[in-house]
Structures are given as structure tokens and as C-alpha cells.
Structure 1
Amino acid sequence: MTITTARTTRPAAGSFARDAPAPAQRTNDVWVGLALFLGAIISVILGFFAQLMGSSGLDVKWGLVYASALSLPFVVRTSYPITVAIVVNVVYVVGMEAGATELYVGQIALFLSMYTVGAWVNDRRRAQLARFAIMAVMAGWLLVATFRAATEPVPEGMPDAVGAMSPMVAYMMIQWLINAVFFGAAYVMGDRAYEAALGRKALAARTRELEEQQEIASAQAVMLDRVRIARELHDVVAHHVSSMGVQAGAARAVLDQNPDGAKRALTVVEESSRQVIGELRHLLDTLRGGDDDHEDPPSTVTLAALDQLVRASEAAGTPTSL
């Protein structure tokens, strides 16, 4: 008899990496990209007519090109997160320098691209370096914009400097604070999403492991039941059958010389057969209904039954000692 036991193995290296995006996730990326594209087009058109950039704003057709380049890469954001993040940030900087009239969807695109890198890149060092590089480039661009705002003439309609800081410099400082919080939140939330995905994966793996262990335990329980049934059958039947064989042999040997002794031996055989049939029925009833349906457990012959076996053998005329 072989009983299979569960083995605990170390998790493979791949278990510490997030699974590739499923088809449903890729479909969701397409919808995200299309939603951003539609929002960017609407924002570009409304911004153009609102003259957000004044006369220096991009023409509508170039604004639509900007909106497309900014949003459509998101249809593959989880498959190529770093590439999408680089493209989106470069397009954003170029568009802002060129006077794009879209100011709102671009912010969402920057946040989502940074978040996606943190949430989907399994090479965590590479994800960290990519995000730091993007933040460094954006900080450099914002620094140039701040210097330019501080040195250029004050735009028409904006008041002159108040104390040591002009309104334009104050405005740029607000932009610094907003961007620090903005990119910091995207960084942290991306890492949290990645850790949560690993947690769900580990939980699913543990669930599968528990199910496998349960199957093994069930197989072991069946095997142990078979062993118990075999033991019970042996204990119930073996001594009766052996006694019947001895008595039948004794009856055959003395049938001509001692008919009365042969009759007694055959009587013992008859009684033993009845007993074994009754005990077999009791055992089968217990197996069919379960142990809980019977107050008495299946009959099991113990050492205490040896005296009874000796008496039965002596009663049949077979000299027996214990």
C-alpha cells in the first residue's frame, strides 16, 4: 500500500512577478485610450475657441494631432508601460511648448502613464529608474519654464511684482507643488497596485495549494478506510472461517469411528457460519450508513475472544489449549 503525502515546495521565482495582462485587461486598455482620445479632442476644440493660449495657441488640426499622440498610446499601456509613459510625457512637453490648447486630459494622461509603470512593470528596478528619469525630465522642463517666466516681461493683464516675488513666479511655484504631489501620488499608487496584484496572485496560489492538499487528504482518507475495512473483515471473518475449517476437517476424520463427535463438529460449523453472516451484515450496514448511524461500532475481534474460540473448539471435540 502506498499513501501519497503532500510536499511543501518553495515558490518559483515567477511567483514574485505579476502575470501578463489578460485579454480582458487589454480590451480595457483600448477603451481607456479611446475615452482619453475623445476627451482630448473635445478639450482641444473647446480650448481653441476659448483662446486659452491667446493668439499663440496651436491650430485645431495640430491640436488634434497632439490629442491623438497623447491619448492613443494608452491602448497598449499595460503591454508596453514604459514606452507609453515616455511617449506621453514627450508629447505633453512638446505640445505645451508649442501652445496646445488642451490643459486637462494631458494631466490625466501623465498621471495614468506614471501609475501604469509602477503597477505593471515586473522589473522593479527598471520601473523605478524609468519613473525617476521621467520625473527628472519634467522637473528640468518646469525649471526652465520657471526661469523663463521670471525673466520675461510680465504678460499683459498680470500685475507687477509684489515684494520679492512676481505673480508669475508665485504661479510657477504653485505648479511645482502641484506637480510634486501629482507625480508622488502616481508613484506611490502604482507601487501599491503592484503589491496588491502580487497579493492576489499569492492568495490564488495558496488557494490552489489548499485544494490540492484537500484532494490528497481525501485520497488518504479513502485509503485508510480501505485498510480499516480490510482489517474489520479479517477480524470478523478470519477466526470463524478458520474454526469452521478445523471443525469440518475433524468431522471428516472421525465421521466413521465417532459419528456423534462429527455431528458436534458440524454443529459448531453451522453456528460459526451463522455468526459470521450476522457480523458481516452488521459491518455492511455500518459501511452503508456511516459510523454515526450506529451506536455500536463494527465487530472487531480482540485478544479477549481467544477464550471463546478455545471453548468453541473444545466443544467441537478438538483438544485445544491456550
Structure 2
Amino acid sequence: MWLAVAVLVGAGAVTLLVRSMGAYAQNVTGPSLVEHLLWGAAVSLPLAVRRRFPMTVLLAVSVAFLAGQSRQVADNLVPSIALFTAIYTVGAWSQDRGRARVARVGVIVVMFGWLGFNLARFMLRPEPPPFEGAVGPLDPVLASVLYGVAFNVLFFLSAYYFGGTAWLSARRKEELEHRAEELRRSQEQNMRGAVVAERVRIARDLHDVVAHHVSVMGVQAGAARRVLDRDVELARSTLRTVEDTARTAIGELRGLLGVLRAEPAEPALGEPVAQTSSPGLDQVPELVELARSAGLTVAHGTYGDPRPVPEGVALSAYRIVQEALTNVVKHAGAGAADVRVRFLEKELEVEVTDDGRGAPTAGGGGFGLVGMRERVAVHGGTLEVGPRRDGGYLVRARFPA
């Protein structure tokens, strides 16, 4: 809008100046002042909506420009500025790039046709205009033609080029803003996912640490209560086991809290954050002894050639054995269990079976089996759980090692 107003005011001012100086094109006075001002408005006012209707504005300005030229208006400067702006706007703002290219080229061809017509008419005049003071090596008429052609080539190519450049610049800017927004959303999503994953990991570790030891403590405390009046020594031994189990649980909780409060280390891809104090396969016999102290007959065996495994895998295998034994003690109603650790050629396998009811334990409906699946999935392993064919329940996990 403001550009159109500025061009309109400029057209009026230049018209008044040209008429006041008597500097008419081709030495012809042309139309009246009112008609001059109307032609200035015709090429200026369409620019107010140039961004909304760039193609229509280009057509309107081009027609007004040629019509004004045919009427031999005194001012050529402001109409040229308006035409330049219209060509530039189509290149910079038109959404249909094919039509924009055709429209600009078409207008430029028409304008050069009009220029050729005027040059031919100029050169074929019966009396060529005098060129007073012409001292150059070229013929004055030829020099005038070359000057007009060179000026118009530069004029129209500039309008075409800068319009296309503005379009490309705006497009790149839009793409950068879009990519920046996508990156911001991706970062936010990753942050939310990391927070959720960390909360799940903390919940899983807390469950593994607390549930197992508290379950054993509950069983031991119940046994101590039942034999307290009949066998004081057995009750003391059982309570001592409860005390030791409580201390172990507190120690593991302190270790877990220390991990949460410490500065995070950079883990390997797919590996949970593990500390050197984290339990592993070497502590599986302690789980077996703890389950035995709860009155469960537990067999334990290691098969294959033992070899070092990644600490994260060792921790996950330990936690799965721990959760499986916890479920056996709490829910299975079993009298015996079997814990096996197998070092296969390319895998580490841990297996816990029992002779209990063989139905899904209460842990299957809570967080226990969910935590097992998550631990196995982190390492790309497999988990098999369910009733055994000959009775009891099976938990078998395999980790790539």
C-alpha cells in the first residue's frame, strides 16, 4: 500500500517537474496535466495489491505502461519504476513458478517488441533528429539505438533476476525455520522420552531391589514367629537372616541413590548406566542362599565356559534371577527351584524353574515380568516365561554376549 502511494506521489511530482521544464519525450507536449496524472495513477495504484495478485498487477501495469507510452506521456521514469516493481513482485511472490516465469518472459518480450517498434520508427524518420555536440566514433543514430537496447536489457534482466533471487532467499529461510522447528520438536520429544525412560529404569531398579529382599524378610519373619515358642535358636537364626537381608537391601538402595545423585556418565548405546558396585553373575549364589534361607530348596548350576560379559548384561541377568526367585518365594507355592546360568557360544542364558502351581504369578500382573521384558529388550535379547509342561513355572532369558 505505502509503495503504491509513494509511486503515485512520485509520478505526480515528476510530471509537474517535466512539464515545468518542458522536457517532453520526442519534443511532443503530449496530453493534458489531468491526463498525465491519471496515467500516473494507472501505473501506480495496482501496486497496492501486488503481493496478493502479482500476476494481475503485472498485466495491469504493463497495459497501462504501453498505453501511456502510446499517448506520449511526459514521464517515463515513474512508469518504469512501477513496471520494474511488478516484474520483481511476480518473481518474488507468485506461488506458481511456471506461470510466473512465463508471465515475466512474456511481458519482457512484449516490451522489447514495443522498443523495437519505436526504434524502427525513430530510425526511419524522413528527417533524423540533429545530434548537436556528437563527437564519438559511432553514428549518433546507431549509438542511440545501442544505448536504448543496452539500458532495457539491463533493466528487465535486473527485474527478472532479483525477483527470482528474492523467491529463493525466502524459500531457504522458510526451510531453515521449518527444520529448526522440527529439530526443536525432536529435541523436546527426545527429552520427554529420556525422562520417561529414566523414570522407568528407576522404578524397575527400585522394584528389583526392594521387592526381593522385602519378600524374603517377610517369609523369614513369618517363620521366626511360628517357631519362636518352640525353637529359640532357630528363631534367632531366622531373625538374623532378616537383619542381614535388610542391611543388604539398604546397601543396594544406597548404591542406587548414589547413582541417581551422581553426575551422569556417558553409557554405550543401548547400555544402562551401571556402576562398578552393581551386582552381577558372581552374586547369583547369594540370591540362591537367600532363597534357601526362606525355606526353598534351590539347585544352582553354571554351564559352559564362564567368560566376562558386559556389566549391563550381567546386571540384567542378576535382576531377572532375583525377580524370578522372588516370585517363586512369594506366589508359586513351590518347594524347590532350579537356577541355571549357561554360557552359550554367542549368548548368555539364565533360567529359573520351580515345581509350584505353574500358573502366572502375581508378579506377572504387576511390574516384575514387565521389568524383565524391559531389561531383556534393552540388550536385544529374548525372554520366555510360562507354565512348564510337566508342572511348575519357567523363566528363561537370553542375552547376546
Per the shorter chain, which TM-score range? 0.7 to 0.9
Aligned residue number for residue 252 of structure 1 = 225
AA matched with 2:11: A
Q: In structure 1, which of residues 38, 42, 47 is the aligned counterpart of residue 13 of structure 2?
A: 42
Summarize the alignment of residues 201-212 of structure 1 with structure 2, pairs less than 5 Å apart. 201-212=174-185
Deviations 1:37-81 (A, max 9, x none): 121111111011111114523322211111111111111111111
Cα distance, 1:282 vs structure 2:
4.5
TM-score, length-normalised on structure 2? Answer: 0.64
Deviations 1:287-307 (A, max 9, x none): 3x34449xx949644332233
Check whether the contact 1:70–1:109 (CA below 8 A) recurs between aligned residues: yes
Q: Is the partner of 2:79 in helix, strand or coil?
A: helix
AA matched with 1:302: G
Structure 1 residues 122 and 260, CA gap change in structure 2 (3 angstroms) = same
Aligned residue number for residue 99 of structure 2 = 126
Q: Is the partner of 1:85 in helix, strand or coil?
A: helix
Aligned residue number for residue 29 of structure 2 = 56
Q: Indicate yes or no: 2:275 matched with 1:304.
A: no
Q: Structure 2, unaligned stretches of length 5 or more?
A: 266-273, 301-401
Q: Indicate yes or no: 2:71 matched with 1:93.
A: no
Cα distance, 1:167 vs structure 2:
2.7
Check whether the contact 2:220–2:242 (CA below 8 A) recurs between aligned residues: yes
Whole-angstrom distance in 2 between the partners of 1:315 and 1:159:
123
Check whether the contact 2:28–2:72 (CA below 8 A) recurs between aligned residues: no
Deviations 1:85-104 (A, max 9, x none): 11112212222222212132
Q: Is the partner of 1:56 in helix, strand or coil?
A: coil
Structure 1 residues 152 and 140, CA gap change in structure 2 (3 angstroms) = same
Q: Indicate yes or no: 2:172 matched with 1:199.
A: yes
Q: In structure 2, which of residues 40, 47, 54 is the aligned counterpart of residue 81 of structure 1?
A: 54
Q: Indicate yes or no: 2:200 matched with 1:227.
A: yes
Whole-angstrom distance in 2 between the partners of 1:144 and 1:157:
21
Moved more, 42-51 or 306-315: 306-315
Check whether the contact 1:247–1:316 (CA below 8 A) recurs between aligned residues: yes
Aligned residue number for residue 149 of structure 2 = 176
Whole-angstrom distance in 1 between the partners of 2:239 and 2:45:
97
TM-score, length-normalised on structure 1? Answer: 0.79
AA matched with 2:68: G
Check whether the contact 1:261–1:316 (CA below 8 A) recurs between aligned residues: no
Whole-angstrom distance in 1 between the partners of 2:90 and 2:210:
72
Q: Indicate yes or no: 2:85 matched with 1:112.
A: yes
Q: Comparing both structures, which one devotes a greater share of its residues to helix?
A: 1
Aligned residue number for residue 32 of structure 1 = 3
Q: Structure 1, unaligned stretches of length 5 or more?
A: 1-29
Residues matched between the structures, number: 290
Q: In structure 2, which of residues 107, 110, 120 is the aligned counterpart of residue 137 of structure 1?
A: 110
AA matched with 1:35: A
Whole-angstrom distance in 2 between the partners of 1:319 and 1:129:
89
Aligned residue number for residue 189 of structure 2 = 216
Cα distance, 1:149 vs structure 2:
0.5
Cα distance, 1:114 vs structure 2:
0.9
Whole-angstrom distance in 1 between the partners of 2:222 and 2:296:
10
Structure 1 residues 319 and 120, CA gap change in structure 2 (3 angstroms) = closer
Deviations 1:146-203 (A, max 9, x none): 11101224466435999xx863453133111211121112112212211222211211
Check whether the contact 2:61–2:82 (CA below 8 A) recurs between aligned residues: yes
Report the aligned-residue RMSD.
Answer: 3.1
Deviations 1:128-148 (A, max 9, x none): 211122112111211110111
Q: Comparing both structures, which one devotes a greater share of its residues to strand?
A: 2
Q: Indicate yes or no: 2:242 matched with 1:264.
A: no
Whole-angstrom distance in 2 between the partners of 1:80 and 1:315:
87
Summarize the alignment of residues 278-297 of structure 1 with structure 2, pairs less than 5 Å apart. 278-284=251-257, 286-287=259-260, 289-292=261-264, 297=275
Q: Is the partner of 1:231 in helix, strand or coil?
A: helix
Check whether the contact 1:58–1:100 (CA below 8 A) recurs between aligned residues: yes
